[in-house]
Amino acid sequence: MEVFLGLDPTPAMGKEPVLTIGSFDGIHRGHQALVARIQQRARERDGTGVVLTFDPHPQRVIVPGTAPPLLTTTEEKLSILEESGLDNLVIVPFNRELSQMEAEDFVQDVLLGRLGVRLLVLGYDHAFGRGRRGRPELLKEMAPRLGFELEL
């Protein structure tokens, strides 16, 4: 597994990146299943599986004092993801500026522009971006217009 810290310079994700996003504050069975799914979908298209996560947990920045306790340390998270066979892990520093980024801008600038995502795989209840507007409904509208696939 290759680990990229931040987005500058733009990480090389390989061809046909299949990506999921999440805090991954504890790599529980649901997270493990999601990682296995992106790896499977990446293999089907001769692509690369990518997990994009944040440090610190976004809630620690947005509403300090309300973030859930971390279930795994960063070292444990790296070890579990390494053992899962994940190709690439991108750890993005989460800060106030990022918390204010609109979901549409995050998709266009980060996921498509910097990481070249071809397939975005998300859990059914995932949301991201300012005001958590990056929900399935918005992404379903954006995917065909911007030329990426979405799997929920």
pLDDT, one tens digit per residue, over 52-67 is 999 998 888 999 888 7
pLDDT of 105 reads 97
Q: Going from the N-terminus, what domains does the chain have, and what CATH number goes with each?
A: 2-151 (3.40.50.620)
Q: In percent, how much of the chain has pLDDT > 70?
A: 100
**Burial track 44-80 (b if 16+ CB lie within 10 A, e otherwise):** eeebbbbbbbbbebbbbbeeeeebeebebeeeebbeb
- When mean pLDDT is compared across 23-32, 73-82, 112-121, the lowest value belongs to 23-32
pLDDT at 124 over 80: no
Give me the mean pLDDT over the 109-129 stretch: 93
Tell me the average pLDDT of the chain: 92
Q: Residue 132 CB: number of other CB atoms within 10 A?
A: 12
Q: Which of 18-32, 49-63, 132-146 has the lowest mean pLDDT?
A: 18-32
Question: What integer pLDDT is reported at residue 71 of this predicted model?
Answer: 82
pLDDT of residue 4: 95
